[in-house]
Amino acid sequence: MLLNLVEAVDLALARAMSEDERVIILGEDVGKNGGVFRATQGLRERFGSRRVLDTPLAENLIAGVSVGMSSQGLRPVAEIQFLGFIYAALEHLISHAARLRNRTRGRLSCPLTIRTPFGGGIHAPEHHSESTEAILCHIAGLKVVALSSPRTAYGLLLAAIRSPDPVIVLEPERIYRSFKEEVLDDGQQIDLEQCLVWRKGVDLSLIAWGAMVQDCLQAAEQLAQYGIEAEVIDVACLKPLDMTTIINSVALTGRCIIVQEAVKSGGLGSDIAARLADTAFYALRAPIKIISPPDVILPYFKLEQAYLPQIADIVQTSRALMEASS
């Protein structure tokens, strides 16, 4: 089937609910309206109102109820309408969901999935365009994944729902409906603990996640016209981080550019760069570069494009890095 990303999310949810009656969907407007982006459209009609639950506008309640459900044998998939709304739920995610297995010495686990749109590019106000994934990655006991295409949406979401521990699934708003690709409803999941290599290259490693993966792929096509073959790595699982794939890529190319929608200070890109400096320093032929927005809150509407990294920025930085290290 040719599906866009939001349709692939819906397909994966339907597959998971068909396979396991313990899977429960809950969140604001996920039932009758099918979710703010229509990622749960049709599920209430198919599986009933006891398994697709509309909740009040209360993220702390959604997270708390989900932790309770998961501790009692259910597999809740909770939607937080936007990443900028998740902060009210952090008390439950940090103090309970992430710690339940350790706190009970394995007697209880928390098979909870939190889905939430993230990132900019849809001309929405600040709380609807957040890229604060580094906050979530800092929480021990949580897994964090970022979708980048319809296929990865299907496979990673299935893996998250089947996981015995809590997983945060970040869905990039900007590419929800930007393109389609073939998605098989075969129930095959994607390993939650590995990076994905989207394009092979020998000159430069482009590291990204979420919507920025697609921008890096387009940048790589343009760079090929200049004789530069870039390898594109989709981090996919932000926590735990598969550094082996990243290190192997940089060991081959000797050059690395990390592209993120999050601000640079305290971001995941800085963490990856630090680990590369520690483990792959002697393979580097040039300094590691991070392309990211400035350390300000995302501005509205027309200024949004000036804030977010652009394909032209990736191409320009890549060419400059190649020239400086040739």
Active-site residue set:
128
Whether the bond into 166 is cis, omega within 30 of 0: no
Dist. CA 293–CA 307, nearest whole Å? 6
